[in-house]
Amino acid sequence: MAEEIILYRKKLSALTTETIGGAEFTVGTYENTELVLAQSGIGKVQASMTATILFDHFQVAALINTGSAAGVATGLTIGELVLGQQLAYHDVDVTNGGDYVVGQIPGQQLFFKSNQALLNVVEQTATALNLPATTGLIVTGDQFVANAEHVAAIKDNFTGVAAIEMEGAAVAQIATNFNKPFLIIRAISDNGDADATVNFDEFVKQAGKNAAELLLKAIPNIAALEGNEV
């Protein structure tokens, strides 16, 4: 989110920028760790392009993708963070074309799993900062979900889903194909119901602030991970 990029840029030193494919990438240093910042844009294609550039052009060692989402698990509240243990597509259905399940792209696994070492560090950091965070399944589709019937249909296909958004699984798929560790973090901006548009506009800035606070605190511990842990 743009709100997050602004917060991160204020903390980085020795900034340089490069534009590739219409996306701006900022390279800088934070706590002796080189970071590459990018705002992917909205949707799976934009997210996939940005992730591919990060791995192929900038040769990043790991990718952490943050953003907002609709929280659909019982008890999730606006502003709470969801750490994606698994990611899947909710808008993919090729079940008529072979032995597949809803959400599975041919040639790919159904669920893309975040790196456990990254997940552990961020979970511990959230606890230390007293930021409410839930670990669970995040599902992705090129749709802004804003009605209860749509949420119910997604839940029917993905038991235990915590959050619904528009980029995470695409980033996870690219990272998996590059054999690189990743973690998807979403701050809850709405609940995917009839009030979603109003709530999103009102709370998205706070959601971005929460995610940025979490990552800035976690980065030194992430950088300290041994190579065989991530």
Query: Mean pLDDT, 10 residues at a time, over the chain (230 residues)?
Result: 79 92 94 92 95 98 91 85 96 93 94 96 95 94 87 93 95 98 89 55 70 90 72
Contact 138, 167 (CB under 8 A): no
User: What was the pLDDT predicted at 194?
Assistant: 45
Dihedral sign (CA 56, 61, 66, 71): positive
Q: Which of 4, 80, 165, 167 is catalytic?
A: 4
Is 4 labeled as catalytic in the residue annotation? Answer: yes
Of the candidates 46, 41, 10, 15, which has an alpha carbon nearest to the alpha carbon of residue 29? 15
Of the candidates 219, 229, 228, which has an alpha carbon nearest to the alpha carbon of residue 33? 219
Q: Which of 80, 165, 167, 190 is catalytic?
A: 190
Is 149 labeled as catalytic in the residue annotation? Answer: no
Distance CA 170, CA 175 (A): 9
> What SS3 class is residue 150?
helix
Structural domains in the chain? 62-229 (3.40.50.1580)
User: What was the pLDDT predicted at 201?
Assistant: 63
Measured CA angle at 133 (ends 128, 136), to 5 deg: 135
What does pTM read for this prediction?
0.90
